[in-house]
Chains A and B, each alone.
Chain A
Amino acid sequence: MKLTSEQVDFFETFGFIMLPGILKDDVEWITKEFEQVFPLFEESSNHTGDKRTVVLPFIDQRKKLSALLDDPRILGIARSLLGDDFNYVCSDGNYYSGDTNWHRDGRGHNLKSLRSIKIAFYLDQLDGDSGALRVIPGSQLEGSFHNKLHEMSKNPGKSLALWGIAGSEVPAQILDVTPGDLLVFDHNTFHAAFGGGRSRRMFTINLCQHYPEDSLDLLKTVALGHCTYRRHVYYGPEMMNTDNPERLAHLKQILSLTNNLYEESSHLPELHRRTGDKG
């Protein structure tokens, strides 16, 4: 399943695309798997609602979730937007709480990087008043509009100082979502969420184009930017537990750059696994 040329052109123009109901028959098992990940770690086992609880990498922790990277629908989206040799960069699973101010994604990523995208799976029904994703169409493209928005995003609440309006009043496209929809957006697209509850479930898969040899330093910076705890292997256990050559092809470029990850992540805290559950 590939995107149509019109869908690709829409994505490249507006910086996002919504694919309604594409996983609607899978929401039940995906939600069950989602719920299974958080208890695996001390750090994520108790979401109180006071702040966001995140597990990263996320789908890597469960066999079935890891297999989303083999799913023809996900592969179709990724190949259409990034090419057949795209990289799987990381994923995160979240219990969101409260607002997320305007920002663009990409740790170590910038406008000069190759294209990176986020595929977002929302497991709760959301609209503009309950924490749905908002995007600023076209804001991913280089130019003065992007630069002005970048100024705004540097400090939370700066829209109030710059334009006298709250973040929720910034002109944007609100993407109401039903579980089973997929939202895909460019890492450079400015996005936010306002008015949501304290336990909104969402996870993402982050992908990027295959980097040429002369830009591998940049890819390594991007990858290491996603490391938030110390580890030996960049990807999680269930992501690596495969002999599917297609999946391995999407892992190998970053794996080749992170042979010394344990040393290079020595400044980060360890993540504490609670159970022996292998998913």
Chain B
Amino acid sequence: MVLTMITEDQVNFFHIFGFLKLPGLFKDDIGWMTEEFEKVFVNANVHHSGDQTSNIAPFIDKTEKLSALLEDERIEAVASALLGEDFNYLNSDGKFYSGNTLWHRDGLVQDKVRFIKFAFYLDPVDGNSGALRVIPGSHHLDDQFGNRLGSGFYLNEVKKPTGNDYWGMSGPEIPAQTLDTTPGDLVIFKWPLFHSSWGGGLRRRMFTMNLSERIQEEDNAVLAKVMSWYPQGYSDTMLNTVTGKGRKHLEQGLAYLHSIRDNK
């Protein structure tokens, strides 16, 4: 049974606008989450200098406590409501962000399979300090709006924008919703939603979990593409930790990885 952590109204909102913020859903866990986050970087011997974003992926797979998020009833409830109870955990990343992140979509631009990102921000951020900005409704891939944005952003990305390169505007001037966050909030958005962040410091901590709905056999090419980004598969820590109800969220990924190994 899935607990009610998210209402039907919120699910409808998410599908129309492409994002959702659940304030304070993890506010009682932010202490240990932050400790674990820091531990992963120390253990990986990654020293963030601030010159550029430092990234570790997969991320939650690195520790038992973070891996156990896949067994957490809040993750289970929210992801099930958005993707179905048999959703897949695909991968994760943890970052010390530095500077701006330009307007972009995540992952694959396709409409066969729903992919979403859960983002945990470990520092308070607002529009002037690197909060996530999203363009509501830009994830509808068949819509003219998303297509026009794609043309506008990617055309200018080639020029490596540094100034007023988007329709004569700078990145933070683009019409968007700024999602101010306090540690403990959960921000969720669809991969095709255009997003960015501006004005942030050199040491913003954030980690994400990438999830999808269960992928139909005819769309195996999509699964193959996504899994190819992380050929090492799930860590032993993850596999040894997630042994309960969360295990089903690894099943499809594991089956695919096994099939690849068997075919070698």
Contacts and interface: CB of A to CB of B under 8 A. Distances in A.
B145 A164 contact: no
B148 A164 contact: no
A165 B13 contact: yes
B45 interface: no
Interface in A133-153: 136-139, 141-146, 148-149
Given A139-B137, A143-B140, A145-B140, A9 B167 contact: yes
Interface string B46-79: 0000000000000000000000000000000000
Interface in B126-174: 135-138, 140, 142-146, 148-149, 152, 167-169
A7 B148 CA distance: 14
Contact of B144 (A7, A10, A142, A171): A142
A163 B9 CA distance: 4
Contacts of A12: 148
Contacts of A46: none
Nearest to B7: A164
Contact of A13 (B12, B13, B137, B149): B149
B16 interface: yes
B175 interface: yes
A7 B167 CA distance: 7
Interface residues of A, number: 26
A14 B135 CA distance: 10
B220 interface: no
B10 A137 contact: no
Interface string B1-42: 000000101101100110000000000000000000000000
Given A143-B144, A143-B145, A145-B137, A164 B9 contact: yes
Contacts of A7: 167-168
A141 B168 contact: no
B177 interface: yes
A173 interface: yes
B145 to A, nearest CB: 3
B142 A6 contact: no
Given A13-B149, A141-B148, A173-B175, A163 B137 contact: no
A143 B144 CA distance: 7
A244 interface: no
Contacts of B143: 138, 141-146
Interface string A17-53: 0000000000000000000000000000000000000
Nearest to A160: B9
B90 to A, nearest CB: 25
B9 A162 contact: yes
A143 B7 contact: no
B140 A144 contact: yes
Contact of B145 (A4, A13, A165): A13
B168 A138 contact: no
Contacts of A138: 135, 137-138, 143, 145, 148-149
Interface in A160-215: 162-165, 171, 173
Contacts of A13: 145, 148-149, 152, 167
A171 B17 contact: yes
A145 B7 CA distance: 21
B167 to A, nearest CB: 4
B181 to A, nearest CB: 16
Nearest to A11: B167
Nearest to A13: B148
A9 B137 contact: no
Contacts of B167: 6-7, 9-10, 13
A145 B135 CA distance: 12
13 contacts: A4-B168, A14-B175, A137-B136, A138-B148, A141-B145, A143-B145, A146-B143, A163-B10, A163-B12, A164-B10, A164-B13, A165-B9, A171-B177
Given A10-B167, A163-B12, 18 more contacts: A4-B168, A7-B167, A13-B145, A13-B149, A138-B137, A138-B138, A138-B143, A141-B143, A141-B145, A142-B144, A143-B143, A143-B144, A144-B142, A144-B143, A145-B140, A162-B13, A164-B13, A171-B136
Interface of A: 4, 6-7, 9-10, 12-14, 136-139, 141-146, 148-149, 162-165, 171, 173
